[in-house]
Each structure stands twice: as structure tokens, then as C-alpha cells.
Amino acid sequence: MRFLTIALFLAAMTAGAQDAPKQGGGRGGPPKNLKVLKAEDERPVMGAMMGAIGQRCNFCHMPGDNASDENPKKLVARKMMEMVNDINAKSPDGKVHVSCYTCHRGKATPDMVPPPVAPPAQ
């Protein structure tokens, strides 16, 4: 589980984000309410998720309380993390191929249908 989580998000991260400090918690001290991530993965993963779904921190978090689970979007995001880990665990070649970005492409809600195909030019 741990390897998958890290590989998943490192793959989706920018070069800059990879230089983030390896301890969790940020300004608020060590994380208190992680159920999926390891403390050292918390920072880089938060950054990667913002880019993947195109939203800021408080889309998922209660302002000023990142440990709170009151924001329902945070609970959806945690389920999504577990889903992504499950998908990658079943990969035929055992490698990580699916990230948040695979579906979300920078949007909060992924598209269910492709955009209409433009009619051929006459």
C-alpha cells in the first residue's frame, strides 16, 4: 500500500513538488487524522491532488483545520485515494498506471462522455 501511494503521486507530481520537505504536518505540526497516507507523503500528495482536480486546499478542507473530516469533499477524496490504490494493485503488470489526473484531467468532476465530434468541414 505504501509503495503504491508514493509511486502513484510521485508520478503525477511536478519537479518542483518533489523537492517538498519529507515530513508531514506543515505549519500545524504532525498530521493527526491520516487514514490512507503516511505522514511524509501528505505534503507532496496534497499538491499533486490540487493540480489533478483543479481545486485549492479548501475545496476539500475546512478553513484552518486540515485534520477535520467535516468537509464531505475530503471524504470523497479519501475514498478516491483508496480506489486509485485498489486499481493500481490490480494492474496486470504490477505497475502504477492510474492517478487522480487519469480521470479528472484538472476538473473536479470528470467527463462521462467525450465532447461532440465536430462535423466534417465541407
User: Grid coordinates standing for 88?
Assistant: 493500481
* 89 belongs to the binding site for ligand HEC (CB under 6 A): no
* 88 belongs to the binding site for ligand HEC (CB under 6 A): no
Are 78 and 31 in contact by the 8 Å Cβ rule? The answer is no
| Cα 44 to Cα 57: distance, rounded to the nearest angstrom | 13
* 31 belongs to the binding site for ligand HEC (CB under 6 A): yes
Are 73 and 59 in contact by the 8 Å Cβ rule? The answer is yes
Among 11, 20, 51, 59, binds ligand HEC (CB under 6 A): 59
- Among residues 99, 98, 26, 15, the alpha carbon closest in space to that of 61 is found at 26
Q: How far is the CB of 119 from ligand HEC (least distance, A)?
A: 28
**Contact residues for ligand HEC, defined by CB under 6 A:** 26, 28, 31-37, 42, 46-47, 49-50, 53, 55, 57, 59-61, 66-67, 73-74, 76-78, 80-81, 84, 98, 100, 102-104, 108-110
